[in-house]
Structure 1
Amino acid sequence: MGGTVPRSPTGIVARVTIDSDPTPTTLRWAVLLLRAESVALGLVAVWLIWSDLTARTTDLTSALLVTAFAVAGAVVLWALGAALARRKAGARAPAIVLQLMLLPIGWYMIQGGMGWLGLPLMALGLGVTGLLVSPPTTRALGLH
C-alpha cells in the first residue's frame, strides 16, 4: 500500500488544497489601482454622457466619440485588472501601455496649467507600472 491514499468508507477521497503561492502585495495593489482608475474614468464617462445630453450646442460626432472612448477605457481598465487578478500574464503588457499613456496626458495637463492633476496622474502611471514590473508580480504571473 505504499504511496496510495486510503479511501474513506464511502469511496470518496476529499481533496484539500492549500494555496501555497498567495497573490503578492504588488500585484494586489496594481489590480486595486487599475480598478480605481476604471471607476474614476467611468465617472468621467457618466459626466460626459450627462454633458452630451444637456449641451445647447455641440459637435455631436466628436462628443459621442469622446464619450465612447471614456466608456471603452473604463471597461478595458476593469478587464485588465480582472485578468491580472486571475494571474493572466498577457494582461500585463496592455496594462503597462495604458499606464505609460498617463505620462503625456499628465505632461499636457501641466503645460495647460493643471499641474495639480497632471503630476498625480504621471505619478500614478509610473507607480502602477513599477508594481506591474516588480519581481514579485513578475513571478506571480509566471514571467520570470
Structure 2
Amino acid sequence: MTTTPAVEPVTSPPTLRVAVLLLKAQAVVVGALAIFLVFKDLTSTFAALSVALGVTIFTIAASAAIYAIARALGHHRGGARAPGIVVQLMVIAIGYYMIMGGLVWLGAALIALAVLVIALIVSPPSTRALGFAPSPDETA
C-alpha cells in the first residue's frame, strides 16, 4: 500500500485574491454589456448588421477572456499575468478615450481600476504566488 505525502494547500495572497475578484467583476460587467448588445442586435435595425454583430461577438469574447485570465490567476498560473496586464492596458486606453469624449468621471474610474489591478498583479506577494520570484525564506 502506498501513501501519498500530505500536500499543503496553496493559498493566494490577499493582493492576488483582490486582483482576481476585480478581474471577475470586469468580466461580469463586460458580459452584461454583451447581453445588452445581443438585445440591441435583435431589436434594432442596422445600416451595417455585420459591424453590429462583430462588436457583439468581440464583447462576448472579451468577457470570456477576462474571466479565463482571472480564473488562471486564481489557480496561480504565471502565464496569465501578462495577458492580465495587457487587458488592463486596454482598459486604460478605453478610459483615456472616455475622458476625451467627455465622460471624465467614468474614464478616470476605469483608469484607476486598471492601474490598481496591474499593481495588485505585479506586487511582490502576487509575483511570488505566481512563481516569478523566490519565496522570502529562500532569499535569506
Q: Given the two structures, how large is their TM-score scaled by the length of structure 1?
A: 0.87
Provide the residue aligned with 2:65 in structure 1.
Answer: 76
Instruction: Give the Cα separation in 1 of the matches to 2:28 and 2:67.
Output: 8
Select the residue among 14, 25, 49 that pairs with 1:36: 25
Over the aligned positions, Cα root-mean-square deviation in angstroms equals 1.4
Instruction: Give the Cα separation in 1 of the matches to 2:4 and 2:132.
Output: 33
SS in 2 for 1:101: helix
Q: If you compute each CA radius of gyration, which structure gives the higher value, 1 or 2?
A: 1
Provide the residue aligned with 1:122 in structure 2.
Answer: 111
Change (3 A) 1:106 1:14: closer
Query: Deviations 1:52-76 (Å, cap 9, x if unpaired)?
Result: 1111234101001100110000000
Provide the residue aligned with 1:18 in structure 2.
Answer: 8
Instruction: Give the Cα separation in 2 of the matches to 1:125 and 1:118.
Output: 11
SS in 2 for 1:68: helix
The correspondence of residues 85-124 of structure 1 with structure 2, limited to 5 A, is 85-124=74-113
Q: Given the two structures, how large is their TM-score scaled by the length of structure 2?
A: 0.89
Total equivalences in the alignment: 133
Which structure shows the higher helix fraction? 2
Instruction: Between 113-122 and 33-42, report the one with greater CA deviation.
Output: 113-122
| 1:47 partner amino acid | F
Which ranges of structure 1 fall in alignment gaps of 5 or more residues? 1-10
Give the superposition deviation at 1:22.
Answer: 2.1
Provide the residue aligned with 1:5 in structure 2.
Answer: none
Instruction: Give the Cα separation in 1 of the matches to 2:23 and 2:56.
Output: 20
